[in-house]
Structure 1
Amino acid sequence: MSNIVKKDGYSYSFDVDACSTCKGRCCTGESGYIYVTMTEIENISKLLNLEVKDFAQEYLFKKLYKYSIKENKFGESYECVFYDRESNGCKIYEARPLQCKTFPFWDYFKQRVDELKLECPGVIDV
């Protein structure tokens, strides 16, 4: 049985089980920003057993007044530095940022469901 998530205000649902069928399209593709708060930075640092300063230097860059997780370039695609190609998963899943936890329920996609469906095989019309 599928694990279907629904959120008020969204015209679609999300089948969590579909994550195993794609190659991390929400973690790969076009370059973008994965913004993190100070609390998230501290939680990820703790998970990785790194000092915040060392974590920030290795894995973050500043975009205006926010911090974002770095990306790696793989061919023509970009991917989050914490995306693990071998397991098709996230190396920091337990401490992943809220931005990652809330995908695909982002305000941006409320009016762009067709675009979202191209990225995420778990998106289902309600």
Structure 2
Amino acid sequence: MITKENFNFSFDESACGGCGGACCTGKSGFIWINQAEITALASLLNISKDELKERYLYRLDGRYSIAEKPYNDGAACVFFDEIN
């Protein structure tokens, strides 16, 4: 179970196996990401923040959103694992 201080919800990462990616796929939209998350994701991927922004994000009105890829009749987060 993933929890974060000052948030009144938690995330059960084992739930991902049961929904088939319902929260990561569907209609195209925005997957907003803040600077702290950009830093953490770049570190996780072992790339610079600039490389992360260039490869996986796009900027809109001063904010960043994670890119999407075509999936079924809609879109999916670029990090969505279609194999599992």
| TM-score strictly above 0.5 | yes
- Read off the aligned partner of 1:27 and give its amino acid letter: C
Q: CA deviation at 1:35?
A: 0.6
Q: CA deviation at 1:76?
A: 1.4
The aligned runs of 1:1-126 (5 Å cut-off) are 16=12, 18-87=15-84
> What is the TM-score of this pair, normalised by structure 2?
0.78
* Matched position secondary structure for 2:29: coil
> What is the TM-score of this pair, normalised by structure 1?
0.54
Counterpart contact for 2:25–2:71, Cα < 8 Å = no
What is the identity percentage for the equivalent residue pairs of Structure 1 and Structure 2? 35
Q: Which runs of 5+ in 1 are unaligned?
A: 9-15, 88-126
Runs of 4+ in 1 over 3 A off after TM superposition: 16-19
Q: CA RMSD in A?
A: 2.1
CA deviation profile, 1:9-48 (whole Å, cap 9, x unmatched): xxxxxxx565432211100000011111111101000000
Larger RCO (CA within 8 A; separation ≥ 6): 1
Residue aligning to 1:108? none
Greater Rg over alpha carbons, structure: 1
How many correspondences in the alignment? 76
* Matched position secondary structure for 1:42: helix
Q: CA deviation at 1:77?
A: 1.6
CA deviation profile, 1:58-79 (whole Å, cap 9, x unmatched): 0000121210000001231200
Q: Which runs of 5+ in 2 are unaligned?
A: 2-7
